[in-house]
Structure formats: structure tokens, C-alpha cells
Amino acid sequence: MSFMHLLSSPAEIARDVGRNAKKLRLSKNLTRKTLAKLSGVSESSIQRFETAGSITLESMILLATALDELTPVTALFRPSQPNSLAELKNANRKRGTR
């Protein structure tokens, strides 16, 4: 798999997601300590996520739930509507051929 098409590195994207989470937390007027209590994720994990973008998927789901933002997370890899007949035929496939 080639990442040459990305304008940002995966690490940069992760940091952006962490910064977005911090902005959302602050917009809801929550401290890290309060969010930690609401989510069950440690304050240090929240800090690491907000500054470096490093977090487990499970912890990110817990934070999204506590911040009332679970819908965007659950939609992350949901396929879009088919744009062609070929995509429509492949919509219910169980395995890929390549």
C-alpha cells in the first residue's frame, strides 16, 4: 500500500484528530479530569491523544461516547453509496479478489 497520495503523514493526521478532540472537549467546557471520569480513559491517555494523536481505538471510542460524538466514529469505514454498476455488484461481497 502506498501512502504517496496522502498530503499529510499518518502521524500528522493522528495529531490533527487529537487536536480536534481537544477543541471539542474545551467547547463542552470539560477538563481532562472530568472527561477521564466520564469516559473511563486516564487523564494521561487523554493528554497523549490531544498532543501526539496516540490512542487506542477502544479509548477513542470511549472518548467519542463521553463527548457525544460516536456517530462519526461508527461511520468511519462505512462504504458510500455505489456510483457505478460494478460497485453495486460488489456491494455485498464477502471477500476481495486482489
Return the higher-pLDDT residue of 28 and 5: 28
* Number of folded domains that form the chain: 1
**Assigned domain for 52 exists:** yes
What are 10-35's pLDDT values in tens digits? 999 999 999 999 999 999 999 999 99
Q: What is the mean predicted confidence (pLDDT) over 1-9?
A: 69
What are 42-92's pLDDT values in tens digits? 999 999 999 999 999 999 999 999 999 999 999 998 877 777 887 777 777
**Assigned domain for 97 exists:** no
CATH of the domain at 20: 1.10.260.40
> Whole domain around residue 56: which residue ranges?
10-74
Residue 62 and residue 38 in contact, taking contact as beta carbons nearer than 8 Å: no
**Assigned domain for 31 exists:** yes
Residue 36 has pLDDT above 60, yes or no: yes
For residue 21, which of 49, 42, 59, 45 has the smallest C-alpha distance? 49
**Assigned domain for 94 exists:** no
**Assigned domain for 32 exists:** yes
**Assigned domain for 60 exists:** yes
Residue 50 and residue 18 in contact, taking contact as beta carbons nearer than 8 Å: yes
